Chains A and B, each alone.
Chain A
Amino acid sequence: MEAQILHLFQWFWSLFGLWDLLWGVIEPIWPMLWILIKIVAIVAPLMIGVAYLTYAERKILAYMQVRVGPNRVGYYGLLQPIVDGVKLLFKELIVPIRSNKFLFAISPVLVLAPALAAWAVIPFSNGVVLANVNAGMLYILSMTSIGVYGVIIAGWASNSKYAFLGSMRSAAQMVSYELPMGFALVCVLMAAQSMNLTDIVNGQQSKAGLFGWYLIPLFPMFVIYFISGVAETNRAPFDMAEGESEIVAGFHVEYSGMGFALFFLGEYANMILISALTSLFFLGGWLSPFHGWPLLGAATDWIPGIVWLLGKMFFILFMFLWFRATFPRYRYDQLMRLGWKILIPFTLLWVVVVAAWMQTPLWLW
């Protein structure tokens, strides 16, 4: 891959006779440049994905509520997210008086940056990954856990009661739901016997297609991981941090223009991240669900892995939107009860169950 891209560059710049000059300059920094190219290749589609996820959300919610949704800008309203982005760019940035200017400015970055940094270890296909690290799962957990700082600091630095209440709620919620999320991942870790994300997906490869996925033995963990993921991203029905009806918009009530847009980007980037992780951990990542099946297996084996991965991610993202259209917002005490009294004890129990199950010959994965 690297050699091919280099070759392409060489061909392009040789047309102008500049290749030797250029290569003299970039040769020492090429390894860094190559990583930068890979980062752009991940982040650019991700940002487009985020933009069109907002469109998908509005459109899907609209159809679920028997409306039409955005349909004015471009065909079927397809240019709507771009127009929204431009609008937010040109809006005035308002900084509340007696707020902490530096922290107020930095907190949207603190929400978005971990959501993007976590993508470094996400494999898109066998071996197609920016950093194939051994402790990938742990890295993901720690990156998703520091996203809460943006929310807390935004609430505090805004010098506003609504924002502060929103950030307090969100801090407690995110810390509580990290635990069941972690325990669910401990089950995956035990089943795969590795924290490397590529190895976890390869551990789900079998002749049985989708029956080889960790979805089957760890089904309760899949459900719990997804519920915690919805809570971690502060999405409906766990969007107490925003709670329009009681605390107007929660932690980002004082933000306008691009500051608000960054929070928005962070939330949707986190949703895409959770959907990618759920498909990697439980739904076999880039593996075909029909692999090894008679007839269907042979008929679908030509489909590239990235298509399966994206299909699984779309499905999970659709569930996010579906939840938002279906469930009313949880009450705060109900949310805490669900996290601490139901999910955490259950995950603890299931860790023991999986550990015992793996010692028996009944463990087929």
Chain B
Amino acid sequence: MLTNLFVSLMANFQALVFFMLAIITVIAALRVITSRDPVHAALFLVLIFFSTAGIWMLMEAEFLALTLVLVYVGAVMVLFLFVVMMLDINLERLREGFWRWFPFGAALAVVMVVEMVWVLGNEQTAKTGEHVAKHAANYSNTKELGRLIYTDYVYAFELAAVILLVAIVAAIALAFRRRGGTKRQDSEKQVAVKRADRIRLVSVSPEKRGE
């Protein structure tokens, strides 16, 4: 009896894992917008990324899943938390206009839900009827992805790279300003210092007492 239950569970193990991850994702997503503390909200966002990576892993997209963890969880959200922790956020002021803007936000949400239902609810567009073929054990998702973006989609890929570069340059140009009167250390100069630059040995002749 117990064994049968277990066997049927293992047969649908993938479905079980998917639903667990999906439930975690949805709950965490709700907590991102409902938690009172911005740091908690950011940490729930981290949890979303992590469980989404798990879902992608189930779809055999291991490169994307691991990159999501590496880039978004490991780098982007760390910097995000870094900033959020140091900000002094006044929640009362943030909540002031809530009810005034609520109808606008609700309308937007309804539009988004309708769009999603429209696309995902239709078998033609969501392709729910299709079964993705399982790949052999030696199939490398990373290699296939690399081949595609450097051959078939090379222009789109390069374009995206250039846009990112422009964004980086723009962000630096916006944030970079020279303030007068700042004191800074130049490590090259510090390293290049010789003993003779700092120390001067003087031979002091001992004086006789009483002269």
CB of A142 closer than 8 Å to a CB of B: yes
Chain A's nearest CB lies how many Å from the CB of B108?
32
Of all chain A residues, which has the CB nearest B62?
A: A135
CB of A138 closer than 8 Å to a CB of B: yes
B35-53: CB near A (< 8 Å → 1, else 0) gives: 0000100010010000000
Residues of B contacting A29 with CB < 8 Å? 6
Residues of A contacting B24 with CB < 8 Å? none
Number of A positions contacting B (CB below 8 A):
30
CB of B74 closer than 8 Å to a CB of A: yes
Q: In the assembly, what is the distance between CA of A135 and CA of B73, in Å?
A: 18
CB of A202 closer than 8 Å to a CB of B: no
Q: Are B62 and A133 in contact, with the CB atoms below 8 A?
A: yes
Residues of B contacting A337 with CB < 8 Å? 187
**Segment of A168-176, A245-253, A276-284 engaged in the interface with chain B:** A168-176
Chain A's nearest CB lies how many Å from the CB of B60?
11
CB of A156 closer than 8 Å to a CB of B: yes
Residues of B contacting A138 with CB < 8 Å? 62-63, 66-67, 70, 142
CB of A195 closer than 8 Å to a CB of B: yes
Q: In the assembly, what is the distance between CA of A168 and CA of B82, in Å?
A: 7
Q: In the assembly, what is the distance between CA of A168 and CA of B81, in Å?
A: 10
Contact A146-B73, Cβ < 8 Å, known A28-B6, A156-B39: yes
Residues of B contacting A174 with CB < 8 Å? 78
Q: In the assembly, what is the distance between CA of A171 and CA of B142, in Å?
A: 29
Q: In the assembly, what is the distance between CA of A27 and CA of B10, in Å?
A: 13
CB of A145 closer than 8 Å to a CB of B: yes
Contact A171-B81, Cβ < 8 Å, known A29-B6, A134-B62, A134-B140: yes
**New A-B pairs, 10, CB < 8 Å, besides A135-B141, A168-B85, A171-B81:** A24-B3, A134-B62, A135-B63, A135-B140, A135-B142, A138-B62, A138-B67, A146-B73, A168-B82, A195-B142
List 5 A-B pairs, minimum CB-CB distance, nearest first. A145-B74, A142-B69, A142-B70, A138-B66, A135-B62
**B-contacting residues of A (Cβ < 8 Å)?**
24, 27-29, 103, 133-135, 138-139, 141-142, 145-146, 148-149, 152-153, 156, 164, 168, 171-172, 174-175, 178, 195, 333-334, 337
